[in-house]
Chains A and B, each alone.
Chain A
Amino acid sequence: MKLTNKHTIIILYFLTLLSGLLSNYSPYIFYATIAILIFAGIKFLLVAFQFMEMKKAHPFWKNILVIYISLFILTVGLILYK
């Protein structure tokens, strides 16, 4: 199934509301914090790839976005975990 802007916005709303609910368990449950960070990463990539049409771009631009958000989540997660 082809992902459209309408599908994307529904997923984005869902992940935002889910993150809001999970915040009741953060920072007491570390996995809740990690889930919130991963949801933020997914939302970031959905906006970039679908709304900004980066799915059509040269692999350089796609990779740079994936590397950026992965490094960001990993760094934040590691600092919080230590």
Chain B
Amino acid sequence: MKENINYKNIYYPPGGILIWIIILLELLTFGIALIAMVVSSKSNPEVYHSSRLMLNSTYGVINTLFLLTGGFFMAEAVRFIKKNNLTKASFYTAIAILSGISFLILKGVEYYEKIEHGIGLEYNSFFTFYWLLTGFHVVHVMVGVIILAFMYKGLKSVKSPISPESFETGAHFWHMVDLIWLLLFPLLYLIF
């Protein structure tokens, strides 16, 4: 890792400025959609409450723990790649990939149960938001897992190894998936 990167410079935030522009845009988009959902809940609080109770909050909690665990191991992987310890960095990246896959499997189970009970996009306004928000988030998780898999391959590659800077940027994409979920989880599963 280039030790001469000065993160205190406004143009060089950790992970790079481009990933941070993407992160802020994503946070803005999901944030606006979530606020629209809260506004919509005011006209139908009973529907939102009964719909929220139809979701399995235990799944939500477990999925949050999966993503946080993945985030922790990616943070550790970045720490170790900066120390040039590629063995530990690749091991931690592999655990983060597994946590992402676990999230997707559990989300798949949750989606299957909802579809089996006939709860689709048009069931009511709560579930319209539920499907759209979690659906877009799942796409981000899938992309994140693919990025992590490429990063893992890059760590193992002798011919074209991944640079620590690129690794950190990829890790930031994974953390972004975490940040979005930390906003979605309480609003969809806990508060209504």
Contacts and interface: CB of A to CB of B under 8 A. Distances in A.
A19 B187 CA distance: 11
A57 interface: yes
Main SS of chain B's interface residues?
A: helix
Contacts of A27: 45, 49, 191-192
B68 A12 contact: yes
Interface string A52-78: 111011101100100010001001100
Given A16-B65, A23-B189, A44 B182 contact: yes
Interface residues of A, number: 40
Contacts, number: 118
B192 to A, nearest CB: 6
Contacts of B75: 5, 50-53
Contact of A47 (B10, B31, B179, B191): B179
Contact of B68 (A9, A19, A36, A60): A9
Contact of B183 (A9, A20, A44): A44
Contacts of A36: 186, 190-191
Interface residues on B, range: 35 or more
Interface of B: 7-10, 13-15, 20, 24, 27, 31, 34-35, 38-39, 41-42, 45, 49, 57-58, 60-61, 64-65, 68-69, 71-72, 74-76, 78-79, 172, 175, 178-179, 182-183, 185-187, 189-192
- Interchain residue pairs A-B with the least CB separation, the first 8: A23-B190, A51-B75, A9-B72, A53-B14, A56-B7, A58-B10, A20-B61, A57-B13
15 contacts: A9-B69, A9-B72, A16-B68, A19-B61, A20-B57, A23-B57, A26-B192, A47-B68, A51-B75, A58-B13, A60-B10, A68-B31, A72-B34, A75-B35, A79-B42
